[in-house]
Amino acid sequence: MSDEPRLPLARLLLVGALVPAVFSALDHWLLDRLGVHPSDTFHLIFTMGVFIVQVGLMGWLCGRLLDDPRWRWGLFVWSWLLVDLHIFTAAGQISGTWHPRMLPQSLFAAQVGLTLIWAILGTTTWMIRLPVCAVMGTVLSVPLQGGSGFARELASAQVIALACQCLVLRWRGFRLVRVEGPASDLPPTTSASTQLQTVQFSIRHVLYWTTSLAVVLGVLRALDLMSLSALLGLFPRFESSVIGPLTAGLVIAGVFVIAVWAALGSGPVWLRMSVLLLALPTGGFVLAVLHYHDYANRYRIVGRQSFWLEFWYRDIWFAVWVILAGSLLFASLIILRVLGYRLVRTAKPRPVVGVNGV
């Protein structure tokens, strides 16, 4: 009997044709309506939410219905590209102040966070994982360069804080490991040969690294960031106190870690979802309050209006930003949950001891 992955035609047509066609029709309708009413706040947030639901649903369908990894990941990545294109289109149709225009950046911030998490906590060989993540992170960071002040500093602070938290998790032994399914990454305890793998640096890895470096340098050159002074000014470029942006970065990184745990951690579903649904608005409110005080201190505002009036018209957008970013990160990890991946703490392989202690 053949061991080739099963690929029923009905499943492929459903995931590869019917569902994307429905998503595209819905997205075109939403974007057309957004073009007619570019300042409609509710429709803007609803459109971003629909994009998040599409990523989660497409991940669940690809992980559950497609057995061939080539079709599974190919269609999932293709759905991501379509969503990113629609996000760019939506960003170009938003009018008004810069506060609503920052919402599409939250979805790219979630993708940058996902790339960083995979780079640090992933189990794919580092010779492939790191250059791929470098390219993806560089490209996805381009839309985050817009804006000024607190919003611009937030992107750098988020990356720094999330990287530190992920490094601590990796130091503690946590990895994104496939623990369920026929292709589990956990080595059998009775096999000594599978507990230690050595990967030699081959010409294929050289091509990965050189191609990735070329793409990264090309993007940096296009953004005029090749000078040392420009690079030092990016991480981070704080115009006022460093405490506010760094605290905000820690808040977002904490929400992202909770989203990863809710998607790939252990525990009952009701507990993980309850914690996530509580963390998203709480983290968003904290970030909005931080922006309220940072804005007042940065521009030396005296004789301000009431707190709630300013908070509702200017600072509440940062709360929505956190909710959208955390939700997208959770939705993008659903496919890994379906495939059996978990964030687990792996033990270091122990040497095999023979009968005579050798």
The predicted-structure confidence for 311-333, as pLDDT tens digits, reads as follows 666 778 888 888 999 999 999 99
The residue type found at 322 is V
The yes-or-no verdict on residue 351 having pLDDT over 60 is no
Q: How confident is the model at residue 201 (pLDDT cuts 50, 70, 90)?
A: very low
Angle between helices 103-121 and 41-65 (to 10 degrees): 30
Beta strands in 106-169 (DSSP E): none
More confident residue, 246 or 52: 52
Which range is least confidently modeled, 104-113, 198-207, 240-249?
A: 198-207
- CB under 8 Å to 326, separation ≥6 — which residues? 110, 255, 256, 258, 259, 276, 279, 280, 283
In whole angstroms, how far apart are CA 187 and each of 69, 129, 179, 347?
A: 21, 20, 10, 11
Q: What is the pLDDT of residues 2-40, one digit of tens each?
A: 444 445 788 888 998 899 999 999 999 998 888 887 777
Length of the chain: 358
* Local structure of residue 347 (DSSP, 8 states): P
**pLDDT at 335 (0 to 100):** 92
Q: Is the separation of the CB atoms in 283 and 251 below 8 Å?
A: yes
Instruction: Report CA Rg, the chain.
Output: 22
In this structure, how many other beta carbons lie within 10 angstroms of the beta carbon of residue 255? 28
**pLDDT at 281 (0 to 100):** 92
pTM of the model: 0.79
C-alpha 82/C-alpha 325 separation (Å) is: 18
In whole angstroms, how far apart are CA 109 and each of 29, 200, 227, 257?
A: 25, 34, 25, 14
The residues pairing with 178 across neighbouring beta strands, listed in sequence order, are 341
Structure-token pair, residue 98: 């810069």
